[in-house]
A = this chain, B = another copy of it.
Amino acid sequence: MAGMLMPRKGVVLKAIIEQFIRTGTPVASLDVTRLYHLGVSPATVRNEVAWLKKEGFLLQPHTSAGSVPSDKGYRYYVNSLLDVEEISAEEQRRLRHMFHQVEMELEEWMGLAACLLAQLVNNVALVVPPRTARARLRRLHLVSVHSKVALLVLVLQDGRLRRQLLTFEDEITQDQLDTICNRLNAIYGGLTRARLKTEPAELSPQEARVLQVAAVLMATEDEREYEEPRLEGLRRLLGQPEFVHSDKALDIMDVLETRALVRGMMAQVRGGDVSVVIGEENPNEALRDLSLVVSRYGVPGEFTGAIGVVGPRRMPYSRSISSVRFLAALLGELAAELYSGSYRGTQ
Dominant SS among interface residues on chain A: mixed
Contact of A104 among B103, B141, B165 (CB under 8 A): B165
Interface string of A248-279 (1 = CB under 8 A from B): 01100110110000000000000000000000
In the bound assembly, the distance between CA atoms of A337 and B159 in angstroms comes to 26
Contact of A151 among B145, B159, B165 (CB under 8 A): B159
Q: In the complex, are the beta carbons of A238 and B246 less than 8 A apart?
A: yes
Contact of A164 among B103, B232, B257, B341 (CB under 8 A): B103
Q: Which residues of B contact A104 (CB under 8 A)?
A: 164-165
Contact of A161 among B103, B138, B161, B341 (CB under 8 A): B161
Q: How many residues of A contact B (CB 8 A)?
A: 40
Does any Cβ of B come within 8 Å of A146's Cβ? yes
Does any Cβ of B come within 8 Å of A245's Cβ? yes
In the bound assembly, the distance between CA atoms of A151 and B105 in angstroms comes to 10
Q: In the complex, are the beta carbons of B146 and A342 less than 8 A apart?
A: yes
Q: Which residues of B contact A95 (CB under 8 A)?
A: none
Q: Which residues of B contact A243 (CB under 8 A)?
A: 246
In the bound assembly, the distance between CA atoms of A164 and B109 in angstroms comes to 12
> A254's closest neighbor in chain B, by CB?
B235
Q: Which residues of B contact A342 (CB under 8 A)?
A: 146
Known: A246-B238, A246-B243, A246-B249. A341 touches B153 (CB 8 A): no
In the bound assembly, the distance between CA atoms of A341 and B341 in angstroms comes to 36
Q: Which residues of B contact A232 (CB under 8 A)?
A: 257
Q: In the complex, are the beta carbons of B143 and A155 less than 8 A apart?
A: yes
Q: In the complex, are the beta carbons of B250 and A235 less than 8 A apart?
A: yes
| Known A159-B163, A245-B246; 17 more pairs at CB < 8 Å | A103-B217, A103-B220, A141-B141, A141-B153, A141-B155, A143-B155, A149-B341, A153-B161, A161-B161, A233-B257, A234-B257, A235-B256, A235-B257, A238-B249, A238-B253, A244-B246, A249-B249
What are 14 pairs between A and B in contact, CB < 8 Å? A103-B164, A103-B220, A104-B164, A105-B165, A138-B143, A151-B155, A153-B155, A161-B161, A161-B163, A232-B257, A238-B249, A238-B253, A243-B246, A249-B249
